[in-house]
Structure 1
Amino acid sequence: MNSECEERMDADDRPIGRILSRREVLALLGVSAAALLASCSGASETPTGSAPTTAPVPTETPATSAAQPEPSPMATPAPAVTSSEPSTMVPAAPTVNADTGGSRPIPACVVRPEQTEGPYFVDTRLNRADIRSDPATGMVKEGLPLLLTFVVSQIGSAGCTPLSGAMVDIWHCDAQGFYSGVRDPRLDTRGQQWLRGYQMTDADGIATFTTIYPGWYPGRAVHIHFKIRATNAAGQGYDFTSQLYFDDAISDTVFAQAPYAGRGRRTTLNQNDGIFRQSGSQLMLNLNPIDQGYAATFEIGVDLG
């Protein structure tokens, strides 16, 4: 790897945005300081050894559209390893159902930090759930399957509610560390669109993708980029960009298998990644084994203003 290549890879770096403080979340949710302290005192002060909330295991992988090519055989799943990183959960107060007079729970608002978009975002506008293939050639990228579900909520003065109609984009590198649709010193993939796509959130604020466990490249920890775009009540556009990370122990196990194996030991773990160190612990995925790979659910609350 020459220095020019490494410099290009390291350009996927500068952090943007900030984490909402408890005071700001408190003002948004209209909850008293005492109630917030009592209900989520461990949110940002949970000891590192605490067990994180684990996402539910999907019972099956959603069926792929007939237009999508058949994926090639995948590797055997790696054993589950649970991350020890704490999450930043902000419980919302229940609301009263006007029809029944009873109360119903509101989805928990999960405040996450923004991170850099990096140099590899391409606004392909590919509306699809399975992003493994290249639409032009039908080629499917091999790798351990990953079923990734976003649960997007909107933070407001009345609490936290599902955000429907939001565009959720994801993009990441393949098992060999390459992105599609870009040119860097190692490879020119312009015109290709594998491992890119978006979904619109449904009435429950949910968008689900079928992809693969991402590979690695010099200078960065293992990660997936995502972007959420929506429009608020005033017609103003909203754009939130960040990244998702993986437990290093799981990555080591996955990368010992085909098609990841053979590249040698990766150069950057989470703790050595300058971007991960900027609140990446709040962007960790909790993985659960499914038939051929992993599933993960990522909850996030956004303030459209």
Structure 2
Amino acid sequence: MEHEDIERGRVLTRREVLAALGVGGGALAAGRWVLGTGTPLAAQADGIARALPACVAKPEQTEGPFFVDARLERSDIRSDPSTGTVSEGIPLTLRFNVSQISQGDCAALPGALVDVWQCDADGVYSGVEDDGAPESARDRHFLRGYQHTDEDGLARFTTIYPGWYRGRAVHVHFKVRTDVSGQPYEFTSQLYFDEVLTDRVHAQAPYAARGQRPVANADDGIFRRDGGERLMAQVSETDHGYAATFDLGLDLTDAETGQPDGRSGRRGGAGRPGLG
């Protein structure tokens, strides 16, 4: 099929979208109109291009040692289900736009399971054994949860802006699971944030009590080695905090990428492979 050589890992350009739709440049230059619509072909194609999901292939990154398959289906992941205690921090809304890439075409991927997990403002993960973390956090499941993508390929979460911990830049983990012809497909990676924004957030309570984070994005080995610059969340300010959007295109024919991850152990020291 044509357009199979479109580079993965970037937003399709308007010209590439038009080509995939079979709209030639000559037709645009001639100012042709779509029959029965009263709309110039170029304007019609622009509208279609804007309506298409952003088909962006992104690099996988390590699952890390803190994934817990707790199967907590919920949109607001701030609280611990057993105690109702809500994690303190500046509210952050996450929107994952998940689409499927297939031979140059792009379509929303409904029904995919999107897991999110992260540390709290003090750098603590729930539900795992972790040196230096309160023992009480081991039996909790705050800042974890999953949603299924809707018919538009969208999954939404309400969380908090993440804190920091030793050896890593500020990040949020995510995992997308679906199946292809009855076989499981799993994509795991991490989201990162603009340095200036993180400094602004971490200068406020409750983050400020921990002091300056020691690792910036450029100093994080996982960020540098595994394409972190292509995993930056697009963040905007809201009345109550921040909203982040992340567009992700999955090639479900890529069996190697879709292999389920192995489950990890505990956090390693700074710079060691166990870091998550």
Whether the TM-score (by the shorter chain) exceeds 0.5 is: yes
Cα deviations by residue, 1:100-123 (Å, 9 ceiling, x for unpaired): 998644323101000000000000
Correspondent of 1:110 among 37, 41, 56: 56
Q: Which residue of 1 aligns with 2:257?
A: none
* 1:177-234 deviation per Cα after TM superposition (whole angstroms, max 9, x unaligned): 00000111112322200000000000000000000000000100000000000012x1
Structure 2 gaps of 5+ residues are 23-35, 38-43, 254-276
Match of 2:86 among 127, 137, 140: 140
**Aligned runs of 1:164-179 on 2, under 5 Å?**
164-179=110-125
For residues 53 and 121 of structure 2, the distance between their equivalents in structure 1, rounded to whole angstroms, comes to 34
**What pairs up with 1:61-140 in 2 under 5 angstroms?**
88-91=10-13, 93-94=17-18, 95=21, 104-105=48-49, 106-140=52-86
Deviations 1:42-64 (A, max 9, x none): x9xxxxxxxxxxxxxxxxxxxxx
Query: How far did residue 261 of structure 1 move?
Result: 0.9
Q: What value does the CA root-mean-square deviation take over the aligned residues?
A: 2.1
Q: Any idea what SS the aligned residue of 1:124 has?
A: coil
Aligned length: 223
Report matched runs for 1:30-69 at 5 Å.
30-31=2-3, 36=6
In structure 2, the residue matched to 1:197 is 145
Q: Offset at 1:175? A: 0.2
Distance 2:11 2:91 in 1: 28
Distance 1:299 1:269, change over 3 A: same
Of 257, 276, 282, 2:223 maps to 276
**Residue identity in the other structure for 1:31:** H
**Unaligned residue ranges in structure 1 (runs of 5+):** 1-26, 44-86
- Identity within the alignment, %: 55
Task: Write the distance in 1 (CA, Å) between the matches of 2:250 and 2:4.
Answer: 20
Residue matched to 2:264: none
- Counterpart contact for 1:90–1:111, Cα < 8 Å: no
Which of 206, 219, 229 does residue 167 from structure 2 map onto?
A: 219
Paired with 1:184 and 1:304, the residues of 2 have a C-alpha distance of 34
Amino acid at match of 1:247: D
Answering whether residue 214 of structure 2 is matched by residue 267 of structure 1, we say yes
Residue 174 of structure 2 aligns to a residue whose secondary structure is strand
**3-state SS in 2 of match to 1:140:** coil
- Partners of 1:88 and 1:229 lie apart in 2 by 22
2:182 is the counterpart of 1:235: yes
Q: Look up the match of 2:40.
A: none
Cα separation, partners in 2 of 1:32 and 1:202, compared to 1, 3 Å: closer
Of residues 239, 242, 252 in structure 2, which corresponds to 1:294? 242
**1:147-184 CA-partner distances (Å, limit 9, x unpaired):** 11000000113601000000000000000000000111
Quote how far apart the aligned CAs of 1:32 are: 6.8
Q: After TM superposition, give the deviation of residue 253 of structure 1 in Å.
A: 1.1
Q: Which amino acid aligns with 2:158?
A: T
* C-alpha distance in structure 1 between counterparts of 2:4 and 2:156, whole Å: 34
How far is the alpha carbon of 1:267 from its aligned partner? 1.0
Contact 2:3 2:104 (8 Å CA) reproduced = no
Residue 203 of structure 2 corresponds to 256
Kindly provide the amino acid, as one letter, of the partner of residue 196 in structure 2: A
Partner Cα distance (1:144, 1:275) in 2: 25
Query: What secondary structure is seen at the aligned counterpart in 1 of 2:201?
Result: helix
Contact 1:167-1:198 within 8 A present in 2 as well: yes
**Aligned equivalents of 2:86, 2:120: Cα separation in 1:** 11
Q: 1:114 to 1:153 in 2, by over 3 A?
A: same
Q: CA deviation at 1:90?
A: 2.9
